Chain A
Amino acid sequence: MAIEVKIPTILRTYTDGAKAVDGAGETLSALIDNLDGSHPGLKGRLITDEGSLHRFVNVYVNDEDVRFTGSLETTLKDGDSVTILPAVAGGSR
């Protein structure tokens, strides 16, 4: 079961500069655990201490923002494509 995961510039320090890596898992949560095994530290940049997805990152499964598909419980299947992007946001406060 291979799922391609696209990695943003800011997180490529964890992937030896690779723009995309392969992972496995039946849910997004399991995939992130799997990725953290091969790229230690990655999980901490994606998931908060409370165990939810960080608001600083957007994660898409096949172009669908996972916030609308069950977040970390989003189910995955072989051949799915996952994209991680840093949220672009800010403000004057």
Chain B
Amino acid sequence: MLTIDQATYDAIVAHARRDHPDEACGIVAGPEGSDRPARFVPMLNAARSPTFYEFDSADLLQLYKELDANDEEPVVVYHSHTATEAYPSRTDISYASEPNAHYVLVSTRSEGETEFRSYRIVDGVVTEEPVEVVASYA
């Protein structure tokens, strides 16, 4: 299960809406081993595409240096699908390489409601998990 606070949840959805119709992407970092998404880090989609996203390679290196210095890890890796459902595509699965991360997919295909779903992707196997939104972490 992914437990995430309301403010971070809202920030992910707002980022996805803002970048629509291009895909939005980013991570939420948390202390290593905590499984707690604490620090929202929106990233630039270097592909600027409605069907593909990619962290810029220099941004990626900078991000991991920061995480390393803070003893953090990517607890959530999120991106949006702007015309299809919030389910990992074959491309998403082939790139997924953080075994401890919750892969969050947001779909902005409907203007009225936003789909927000979370998955584990390990060795190419996708497992959907429930999402619990809390006011704040206890």
By a CB distance below 8 angstroms, the chain B residues around A9 are: 73, 98-100
Q: Are A85 and B64 in contact, CB atoms less than 8 angstroms apart?
A: yes
By a CB distance below 8 angstroms, the chain A residues around B61 are: 58, 60, 63, 65, 83, 85
CB distance from B71 to the nearest CB of A (A): 11
CB < 8 Å neighbour of B95 from A60, A63, A87:
A87
Q: Are A86 and B98 in contact, CB atoms less than 8 angstroms apart?
A: yes
For chain B, what secondary structure do more than half of its interface residues adopt (helix, strand, loop), or is it mixed?
mixed
Interface size on B, residues (CB 8 A): 36
Chain B contacts to A: CB under 8 angstroms: 23, 25, 27, 43, 47, 49-55, 57-58, 60-61, 64, 73, 77, 79, 81-84, 88-92, 94-100
Chain A contacts to B: CB under 8 angstroms: 8-10, 56, 58, 60, 63, 65, 67, 83, 85-93
Q: Known contacts A85-B64, A88-B25; is A56 also within 8 Å of B94 by CB?
A: yes
